[in-house]
Chains A and B, each alone.
Chain A
């Protein structure tokens, strides 16, 4: 499993089995297409997958969707419902401090909110059914499945890493 094979998602629905989504994505990411539509069959919910980058929930983003800005974030402090994160902008290598309320995080992602948690944060425009362009911002907490592949891969790396040769 490569380092990019973590599952990035914005599951708005609370009833999606995330473990299933993770294995699903791992397969999808190997397909050489920029844009893939697939079924999360058990729940009969459709999701859009854009290779290696973004995965949008179809029900929410069925019309046009244009990303204005993307940051990578890391939670630094949690005070009750108030969360403080550092955002990194790889366009100009700068940092932002972002304060937000946990209520802005989707139900499924709430359990992932902890110090050190990594996420992507987007500002975007989208056009709704009536043709109106609207602003939207959303979080995508990064998932990194600790499954058998992950553990075996880590152990292989440990066995192959000449850690003792590294030191004098």
Chain B
């Protein structure tokens, strides 16, 4: 596998089947890299993003920043280890999390020792950051996270969320969550819809990429995707987005055609996301696949959510499950990657799109 040229921009979306997790790797020119969110390879237990950099023979010192868009398990798994292994990286977190009630939540809910508890991952991150003296930077709307010159073109990454209204809303939400920590039930709770996620906007000359994180809609001014529209950076740009990482695994609550049309190049943009099996729901569902394909036929997923492939238990467990009539199904977790590269050393170079593993272009269902 070849690394990109120093004049090439790269955006890779890495996913782990329908199981859990996504991660984004960015090449920002001159062998400077960024990672957004973390998930792991279930076989090696190593970060998918770092495994990919290893394949390209890129030293981890070249990672300039790590963004944790939000603190849900599928985006934060082993993120402290990622931070440790990238010693020169700046770490960015949503400023909405810098509130007293969230601090209380991590001190109380963080004590629940569970794989499903993203808050305990957050506790590890705080401990490591304080012990190592490495700082974590609060991200606000319209904050520049990174800038570089890539073959004469200015590249900059700007956060489009969270807004000030999001911070106020999250303070109230976490207060309610704290009030619910009572009794003897051991459970992990997270606010729904997700309004705290960082959304990143990458602009290189006339070319742009929007990384939607898991941000959802709330139909209230200043919150969710309505809040993104308030971005000064976004409103200053007349060019529509060329590549869009569809938010929240293509869920209905993250979709708003009117908002998308204001930001993303209708019928022309390349759209990509990771699927997710959440309860009985499979994201994106068939209706959403249709909606997204209607928006643009260039729609990619890191794996096929409707693949009948599934993992297998060992024979003894499989036999036990069958004989007991239990409804337990292993979720497929084949790895997939969609990679976009564009060379800025020459004018009008074409965007190169590559699919690895289980990744595929999704055709319209009709």
B111 within 8 A of A: yes
> Which residues does chain B contribute within 8 Å of A75, judged by CB atoms?
187
- How far is the CB of A8 from the nearest CB of chain B, in Å? 9
> Which residues does chain B contribute within 8 Å of A36, judged by CB atoms?
none
B317 within 8 A of A: yes
Chain A residues within 8 Å of chain B by Cβ, number: 57
| Bound CA–CA A94/B311 (angstroms) | 9
| Bound CA–CA A145/B136 (angstroms) | 32
Of B112-120, B220-228, B250-258, B352-360, which binds chain A? B112-120
- How far is the CB of A149 from the nearest CB of chain B, in Å? 11
User: Given A93-B40, A96-B329, A146-B183 in contact, is the A123-B115 Cβ separation under 8 Å?
Assistant: no
Are A135 and B320 in contact (CB-based, < 8 A)? Answer: yes
Closest to A147 in B: B184
A31 within 8 A of B: no
A6 within 8 A of B: yes
User: Given A74-B116, A142-B114, A167-B137 in contact, is the A96-B187 Cβ separation under 8 Å?
Assistant: no
> Which residues does chain A contribute within 8 Å of B116, judged by CB atoms?
72, 74, 86, 88, 118
- How far is the CB of B329 from the nearest CB of chain A, in Å? 5
A114 within 8 A of B: yes
- How far is the CB of B331 from the nearest CB of chain A, in Å? 5
Are A99 and B184 in contact (CB-based, < 8 A)? Answer: no
Are B184 and A95 in contact (CB-based, < 8 A)? Answer: no
Which residues of chain B from 180 to 195 have a CB within 8 Å of any chain A CB? 181-190
Closest to B129 in A: A166
Q: Bin the interface of chain B by size.
A: 35 or more
Closest to A79 in B: B280
Are A154 and B320 in contact (CB-based, < 8 A)? Answer: no
> Which residues does chain A contribute within 8 Å of B185, judged by CB atoms?
112, 114, 117, 141, 143-144
B308 within 8 A of A: no
Are A145 and B184 in contact (CB-based, < 8 A)? Answer: yes
> Which residues does chain A contribute within 8 Å of B111, judged by CB atoms?
3, 144, 150, 153-154, 157
Which residues of chain A from 149 to 168 have a CB within 8 Å of any chain B CB? 150, 153-155, 157-158, 161-163, 165-168
Of B27-35, B101-109, B206-214, B240-248, which binds chain A? B101-109
| Bound CA–CA A144/B120 (angstroms) | 15
By a beta-carbon cutoff of 8 Å, the part of chain A in contact with chain B is 3-4, 6-7, 18-19, 22, 68-69, 72, 74-77, 79, 84, 86-88, 90, 92-100, 112, 114-118, 123, 135, 137, 141-146, 150, 153-155, 157-158, 161-163, 165-168
Shortest beta-carbon contacts, A-B, top 4: A77-B279, A168-B135, A76-B279, A144-B186
A-B contact pairs, 30 of them (CB 8 A): A3-B113, A4-B113, A68-B317, A74-B116, A76-B279, A88-B116, A94-B330, A94-B333, A96-B329, A97-B277, A97-B329, A98-B327, A99-B280, A100-B327, A112-B184, A116-B187, A116-B188, A116-B189, A117-B187, A118-B116, A118-B117, A118-B188, A123-B321, A141-B185, A141-B186, A144-B186, A146-B181, A154-B108, A165-B130, A167-B135
